[in-house]
Homo-oligomer: A and B are copies of this chain.
Amino acid sequence: MVKERVTVIDIAHAAGVSKSTVSLVLQGSSLVNEATRAKVNAAIRDLGYVYNRGAANLRQSKSKIIGIVVNDLTNSFFAELAVGVDAVVQSAGFVQFLANTGEKIERQREVVASMREHGVSGLIISPARGTEAADLAPLVESGIPVVLVVRDIAGANVSSLISDNHAGAVAAVRHLIERGHQRIAFLGGFSDTAVFEARMRGYRDALVEAGMPVSESLIIGSAPSRAGGVTAVEQAMMLADRPTAALCFNDAVAFGVCDGLRARRLEPGADFAVIGFDDVIEAKTAVPALTTVSVDPQGMGQRAAELLLKQIKAGKAEPEAIVGSVRLVVRQSCGAAVERKREALA
């Protein structure tokens, strides 16, 4: 017959005390008087109770949780970012909990408070649209290490890791100009975000640098999603003087632009040049393969996790502001491959 495992309740019965008192004795608490302690210890010996210190330590341990808060889980950029973070925190013995704000500041407040309440070791946040330094102040004051990714917030006084959005946009537009495009649109994205502002500035600077006019009608905002891209390109193609190429706010918008072009019987990469921004996994496998400014989402997640772990280990660290370099990855959607083929045939 198998001997049943002795529990804390058995000890409590035998010693004539409460379960809580037994727990306090097991934890070595000074709140229990000597006589009671002796009674409990005698019962433990008599019943052959084995105290599972490992399990107890786990229960009492400081959480080994890294929180990640993203603003749009349906954009695969953020899923890839989270997968990158996960790879690093996992190796370091942490578990990652993710929360999605859907761009809502109120929800962000709730999920951040909840993660604090549950004692996360550190937080990686891609802040919701419109987040201000004051919104993060309670978190920063609590001393929990924080790394902002994707979107920086002026005056937040925490570490941040963003991409060189300006340089990426300049490289993309220069490439389109070199391919001979004269009417280049900037499609998609919410115009009130810092990321939009930086990419837009790069777009303008590259046009100005080439002595080309900047036409406000060619700058068409939209939700930074595939559906937004469809809407933006539809609007662009209704212009009297249509564009022949577009730098898109992100890859999701670029895929939507390709969809919208096909719906008009135009082939992206042949009839219209499309460049995205991010380099999500799908960019490589899509047909035509998407030319895009690579910010390497998984790599960005890994770097953000490393930055956060460094801070967690160091206790309190000085905030670092890192601007990750980007590179233009030329594939087929910008028509470069088509042109290279023509050159080869000539």
On A, residues with C-beta under 8 Å from B are: 18, 20-21, 24, 29-32, 58-59, 63-65, 73-74, 76, 79-80, 82-83, 86, 90, 95-100, 102, 107, 110-111, 114-115, 117-118, 226-227, 230, 255-256, 258-259, 262-263, 281-282, 285-287
Contacts and interface: CB of A to CB of B under 8 A. Distances in A.
A24 B21 CA distance: 12
Given A83-B73, A258-B287, A282-B226, A110 B98 contact: no
Given A226-B282, A258-B287, A259-B286, A99 B100 contact: no
B83 A79 contact: no
A260 B59 CA distance: 50
Contacts of A282: 226, 255
Contact of A227 (B86, B226, B285): B285
Nearest to A61: B117
A80 B86 contact: no
A86 B226 CA distance: 21
Nearest to A262: B287
B99 A83 contact: no
Contact of A65 (B64, B76, B82, B114): B114
Nearest to A96: B99
Most chain B CB neighbours (cut-off 10 Å) among A97, A115, A259: A97
A110 B83 contact: no
Nearest to A78: B79
A99 B110 CA distance: 18
A4 B92 CA distance: 41
A258 B287 CA distance: 8
